[in-house]
Each structure stands twice: as C-alpha cells, then as structure tokens.
C-alpha cells in the first residue's frame, strides 16, 4: 500500500479480502449478533470462523503461522465486521493489535516461536494489561509491580477493562508493571508475559457494560504471581514506550472499526428509508431524512479517508502518530453521530434492540474512550503541532 487509496482503487487482493469478510459478516456474524448481545455471551463459533479464515494472522509473517499480509488488511477486515457487530470486531482488533502484536514487535525469537503460531491461528487469544483502577494514559499512576527474585519475576497489582482476558481460549496477558526507577527517579515500566492459569493470576467477574456485550472484558489481579525471567517482553524499562507504539497502531485499527460502524448505519438507514412508508410514500422521499443520511455518508467517507491515509504512512515507514490520532478521533465521532442519527431515522424501531442501529447506538460511545479518549487525541495532535 503506497499513497492514498480510495475503496474503488484498492488492489485486487484487498478487494477480495473485503468481499470475503463482508460475506462472512452478513451470513455468519449478523444472524447471531443480537442473541449474543442479549445474552452477554462470547461468540466462540464466530471466532472459530474468523480463525479458519486466517483473520487473526493477517498482519503476521507466514513463518509464525500468519497470512503474510499487512496492518491495512486487518483494518479492512475490521471495517467490514464493524458494520454488523462491534463486539466481534473488537475481539479481533484486540486479539491482533493488542494481544499478539506486542510479541511480534518486541518479543525474542523464542517468545515469537512459542506464542505467535497459536495467536495468529486464532486458537488462542492474548490480552493487553495496561489500564489500572487509577492509571491508564497516566504511566506515572501505574502501581502494579514486578520484582526479580532469582530467575523469576514476582508480580503484584491489578488491571481493569482488559479485553479477551477471560475466555476459554485466552492464553496470556502482557502486563505493564513497575520494575524500578530511572536516574531521574521516575517509574521504570516494563512488560511481562503472564500465561493464563499461572498461580496468583485471577480473572474477576465480567463487567456489566452499556455495550460491546459479546466482547470479553474483565478486571485482573496479581498476587505474588511468579513467571520466568525470560518472560520480560522487550527491554527492561521500555515497556510503556513500546505500548505507546502499539497504541498508535491500534488507533488506526479502531478508526477502521469505527468507519465500519458509521458506514453500517448508513447502509441500514438507506435500506430502511426505502422500505418504510409514512403518509403514503417512502420516508426516504422526505428531504429531511435524505439529507440526514447524506450527511451520515459524508462522515463515513471522511473518516475512511483519514484512516487510509494514516495506514499508508505507517506502512511506508513514515511518521504517522498525528494522522492516527486524527483518524481515531474523526472516525469514533462519526460512528457515534451516525448511530444517533441512524436511530432517529428508524424512529421507534431504532429503540428496539433487534435493530442493528440500536446496538450501534449503545456500542459506539466506547469508541470515543478506548485506545485513548477524544481528549487524549486532541492533546497528542496539539503536541505534535508544537503546542
């Protein structure tokens, strides 16, 4: 991928991927989405289907069991899944960009050989243990600690809001922990791989959330958890810096998911506006309804352009932090705005949970919070401008 590409100009392999995932989303994901949302159940069959398609291995090299694709391919898949079910889309996004990508980017050869084949195949999921009850973007607030005792790390602390951390196929959580202080007395943050089932590693009850009800999210606690010294991921003291790189990439993926939501709301509204009649004619004949949907399409198009541009910069090796923040902010706001307008277009039916726009209305708010709030994105953009 080089330079800006519109959807119509995508190379054939990207177009084929989009079409394949779109068909899967329509025929496999959509029919069970409302039930999983209603029951708050993790969609294991859907996840297996995505695994069989190779979606969990899209951006990873074939030597580690991946598909040999790139991050943009992952984004295209997330956009198509996001149109019909955000819970399924975030399960894939978190598994790849937060669970497996840190090991791919910063792991030793031994760590890659041990973990990536399982994660890339979708047979296992990984979690990303950064956020704590009193710390998220604020690294200085991290209180989880890891202390070397001989050849083992001893970890104590807690994490919260951790996606894919409590499923039957969760294999590990990468934990950010304080491992000392630097020369200036600041906390030294490192990251350590903690396999599921390690004594002292406890997964709390699933959260009762406003949305993303089929996504697996738990608080975690670590009480004298011991793992081998070799489980350090990346250099000691570089954990937070490495996580920031992962979050920069992840913002492009979240933007792609949000674009799928924004476009999905447009598609649902176009269909509904043609089918639903009031006062003897389709409601889409009313200019107010047509203009509302037209504005929704403009938001989706603008957001897609932003994430395509950020992805192109990332894959070409150029600085992309500002563009990733812009894409994430624009796309998450587009998703939220389109979900609200889409619900309004559907009228009373938009307030019924079986309609996709109603789930998007509940689900979309977190897109403006996760992977850095809108306010954090504004801070990063301003900082990059020298302000």
Residues with catalytic roles: 371
Q: Shortest CA distance to 91 belongs to which of 167, 178, 193?
A: 167
**What is the 3-state composition of the chain as percent helix, strand, coil, each rounded to the nearest 5?**
60, 15, 25
Residues 350, 298: Cα–Cα separation, whole Å: 21
- CB contact at 8 A, 329 and 374: yes
Burial (CB count within 10 angstroms: exposed 0-12, middle 13-18, buried 19+), residue 10: middle
- DSSP assignment letter at 29: I
115, containing H or E segment: helix 109-121
Inter-residue contact 94 to 128 (CB < 8 Å): yes
DSSP letter for 155, please: E
CA distance 274 to 276: 6
CB atoms within 10 A of CB 208: 7
What contacts 81, CB < 8 A, 6 or more positions away? Answer: 21, 25, 29, 88, 89, 92, 257, 260
Q: Do 162 and 219 contact (CB within 8 A), yes or no?
A: yes
Helix (H) or strand (E) holding 300: helix 287-315
Q: Using N-to-C axis directions, what is the helix angle for 86-93 and 30-39, rounded to 10°? A: 90
Q: Take residue 303 and report the two structure tokens written for it.
A: 């957001």
Instruction: Map residue 293 onto helix, strand or coil.
Output: helix
Q: Cα–Cα distance between 168 and 216 in angstroms, integer?
A: 10
- How many whole angstroms separate alpha carbon 164 and alpha carbon 216? 5
């Amino acid at each position: 991928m080089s330079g800006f590409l519109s959807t119509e100009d995508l190379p054939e392999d990207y177009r084929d991927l989009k079409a394949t995932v779109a068909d899967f989303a329509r025929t496999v994901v959509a029919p069970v989405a409302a039930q999983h949302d209603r029951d708050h159940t993790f969609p294991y069959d859907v996840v297996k289907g995505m695994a069989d398609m190779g979606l969990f291995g899209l951006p990873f090299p074939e030597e580690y069991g991946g598909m040999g694709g790139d991050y943009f391919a992952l984004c295209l898949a997330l956009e198509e899944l996001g149109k019909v079910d955000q819970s399924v889309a975030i399960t894939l996004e978190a598994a790849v960009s937060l669970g497996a990508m840190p090991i791919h980017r910063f792991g030793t050869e031994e760590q890659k050989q041990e973990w990536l084949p399982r994660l890339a195949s979708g047979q296992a999921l990984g979690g990303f243990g950064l956020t704590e009850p009193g710390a998220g973007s604020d690294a200085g607030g991290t209180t989880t600690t890891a202390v070397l005792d001989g050849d083992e790390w001893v970890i104590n602390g807690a994490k919260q809001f951790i996606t894919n951390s409590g499923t039957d196929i969760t294999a590990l959580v990468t934990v950010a922990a304080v491992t000392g202080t630097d020369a200036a007395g600041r906390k030294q943050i490192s990251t350590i791989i903690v396999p599921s089932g390690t004594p002292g590693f406890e997964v709390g009850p699933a959260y009762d959330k406003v949305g993303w009800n089929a996504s697996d999210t738990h608080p975690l606690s670590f009480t004298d958890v011991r793992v081998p010294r070799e489980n350090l991921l990346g250099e000691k003291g570089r954990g937070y810096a490495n996580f920031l790189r992962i979050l920069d990439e992840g913002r492009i993926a979240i933007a792609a998911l949000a674009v799928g939501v924004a476009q999905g709301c447009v598609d649902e509204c176009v269909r509904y506006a043609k089918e639903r009649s009031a006062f003897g004619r389709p409601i889409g004949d009313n200019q107010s309804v047509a203009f509302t949907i037209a504005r929704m399409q403009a938001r989706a198009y603008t957001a897609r352009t932003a994430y395509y541009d950020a992805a192109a910069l990332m894959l070409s090796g150029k600085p992309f932090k500002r563009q990733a923040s812009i894409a994430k902010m624009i796309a998450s706001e587009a998703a939220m705005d389109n979900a609200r307008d889409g619900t309004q277009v559907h009228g009373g039916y938009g307030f019924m949970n079986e309609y996709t726009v109603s789930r998007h209305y509940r689900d979309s708010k977190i897109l403006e919070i996760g992977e850095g709030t809108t306010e954090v994105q504004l801070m990063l953009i301003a900082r990059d401008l020298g302000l």
